[in-house]
Amino acid sequence: MPAATMDAVLLCTLGDLLLDTIVRLDRPFTRGDDAPAVTRSTPGGQAANVAAWAATLGAQARFIGKRGGDAAGALAAYGVEVVGPVAADGRTGMVVSVVEPDGERTMLSDRGCSPELTPAETDPAWLAGSGALHLSGYALLRRPHFDAALAAVDMARAGGALVSVDLSSAALIHDLGCDEFRARLARVAPDIVLGNEQEHATLGEPPAPGWVLKRGARGCVVVRDGERLELPAHPTTVVDTTGAGDAFAAGFLLGRTLDEAAQRGLAAAARCVATLGAMPA
């Protein structure tokens, strides 16, 4: 769990680097008809989002993952070091986020080549000196991605790094099977698990010494070793909720005391939802 300042410590993330296309509707869908919208395309993917927010908040950040040949430069522009193999077919995945007028979003995901990362393609040098390794829950869902994640966890822990996991998707946890996902999570043995209310309701209390319940407009709950901290969200104007949980994770993982970490995460989430898209404006 966050305890000491991590601003100068390297935060590594492992997961997806995708193209994020945001479609914000001016009014609700009418099936079979036209709807005015505002669109934006940026680099995305949960692990990429966390890395970009961590770098924006002042940390050193490194993204680890398999990617298409056209994706790295856009993420590097946020100050993130991008490492990992480029897929032979170069196919970058895409997430289309449809944002309704109230700011709520629905995501349509194509993970591209990201789940093809193997343990043999994972270099220990990428984890050297890291203070924390943050895994996207998507990396636990498919093999060989899960095996590569386990290899990275071993490498990170060898250097004393904290390991965190974001649950990522209630629907995909259900598709894999809750028991199987819990078993995979137990193999990772994270120090902290982050998830929203739907993910927690699907999985139950995570097998970890610490966990964070992200509650959107109602703030967050943080539990560690029997200690419970409940905090309200920071005031903001909601434009788009896409990526708010990733911004929260980045702020939270930068450390200091438990309260400071949570407040830092809530501040980052409030900043995120006030703009269109998951990446820092």
Report CA dihedral (153, 197, 257, 190) to the nearest 10 degrees.
-20
In this structure, what token pair is assigned to residue 105? 């979003």
> Please, are residues 250 and 50 in contact by the beta-carbon 8 Å criterion?
yes
- Provide the strand spans (E) within the chain: 10-14, 18-25, 37-44, 60-64, 81-83, 94-99, 105-110, 130-136, 162-166, 192-196, 210-214, 220-224, 227-231
Question: Which pair of structure tokens corresponds to residue 137?
Answer: 């829950």
C-alpha neighbours within 13 Å on the C-beta side of residue 184: 25
CA angle 200, 133, 56 (to 5 degrees): 95
Segments in 7-126 forming alpha helices (H): 46-56, 72-76
Which of 20, 166, 191, 246 is labelled catalytic?
246
Residue 15 near residue 139 (C-beta atoms within 8 A): yes
Helix (H, G, I), strand (E, B) or coil at 153: helix
CB 149 within 8 A of CB 188: yes
- State yes or no: is 16 an active-site residue: no
Instruction: For tokens 């200091």, name the residue.
Output: 256
Dihedrals φ, ψ of 252, to 5°?
-65, -40
Query: Which residues are known catalytic residues?
Result: 246
